[in-house]
Amino acid sequence: MERLDLDAIKTMTTRFPPLRAKRAGASPEIAFAIGESTLGMVLVARGPIGVRAILIGDDADELMLDLAGRFPAARLLRDEAGLRQDLARIIRFIGNPGAGIDLPLDMSRGTLFQRRVWDELRNIPIGATISYGALARRIGKPAAVRAVANACAANAIALGIPCHRVVHDDGTLSGYRWGVERKRALLESEIASREIKA
């Protein structure tokens, strides 16, 4: 395993709050690996409970900076061999959504409200979409449309928590942390996968 050198990152400002260690002085360890997919580079990060992040982008260095910004108190360890199967499942899902991902997720970093939104997102079938308003109603908070959108934006586990399935009320695609074109490609692939099964 290779430890990520974060010296250059320490001065970086970030919009993500620091992760607090359970014990004073303890730094949680997060192992990560990076691979290539049809959507670009994919980073998977795992702690002892499960997957903490699935990030998608164009550049491996940017993905590592994103991970470091999300988990500034963690010891980040590059472990391609240890996460080979996780990465393979994610890349397989991108190419064939019908295969599913089936990975344990660690959503503990989210607030109670965020976790409610994320849990509901995981109930949306492959190839289906839901509006922000409908998602807010499903969790019993119909007036919290903006908060639901913010919970989707805070999601660090792309694909595992399928925020790409959330659209505007009129069905048009809205923002996606990893790019609207990736969102479109994911939805088209999922719809095609669903039609093949039918």
pTM for this prediction: 0.84
C-alpha dihedral over 163, 16, 82, 104, to 10 degrees? -40
Question: Could you tell me the CATH number of the domain that includes residue 116?
Answer: 1.10.10.10
Cβ atoms of 132 and 149 within 8 Å: the answer is yes
123, 93: one domain: no
Question: Could you tell me the CATH number of the domain that includes residue 56?
Answer: 3.30.160.70
Instruction: With respect to residue 104, please indicate whether it lies within any of the assigned structural domains.
Output: no
With pLDDT > 90 as the criterion, what percentage of the chain qualifies?
Answer: 71
Instruction: With respect to residue 106, please indicate whether it lies within any of the assigned structural domains.
Output: no
95, 157: one domain: no
Instruction: Return all residues near 195 (Cβ < 8 A) that are at least 6 apart.
Output: 127
79, 154: one domain: no
* pLDDT tens figures, 118-135: 999 999 999 899 999 999
pLDDT band at 26 (very low <50, low <70, confident <90, very high): low
Last-in-domain residue among 99, 124, 140: 99
Active site residues: 163
91-108 core/surface letters (b: 16 or more CB in 10 A; e: else): bebbeebeeebebebbbe
Instruction: With respect to residue 149, please indicate whether it lies within any of the assigned structural domains.
Output: yes
Q: Tokens 């095609």 map to which residue?
A: 192
Q: When comparing pLDDT for 91 and 99, which is higher?
A: 91
Task: State how far the alpha carbon of 117 is from the alpha carbons of 67, 141, 158, in Å.
Answer: 22, 10, 14
8, 93: one domain: yes
Instruction: With respect to residue 18, please indicate whether it lies within any of the assigned structural domains.
Output: yes
130, 56: one domain: no
Instruction: Report the C-alpha gap between 11 and 20 in whole angstroms.
Output: 18
* pLDDT for residue 50: 96
User: Residue 194: pLDDT above 90?
Assistant: no
Phi then psi for residue 157, to 5 deg, are: -110, 70
Instruction: With respect to residue 105, please indicate whether it lies within any of the assigned structural domains.
Output: no
* pLDDT for residue 24: 41
124, 169: one domain: yes
How many structural domains comprise the chain? 2
Q: Is 195 exposed, middle or buried (0-12, 13-18, 19+ CB in 10 A)?
A: exposed
85, 128: one domain: no
68, 142: one domain: no
* pLDDT for residue 159: 95
80, 38: one domain: yes
Can you give the residue range of the structural domain that contains 22? 2-99
Mean pLDDT, residues 143-155: 95
152, 81: one domain: no
Instruction: With respect to residue 172, please indicate whether it lies within any of the assigned structural domains.
Output: yes
User: Residue 1: pLDDT above 80?
Assistant: no
Q: Considering the chain, what is the average pLDDT of its residues?
A: 86
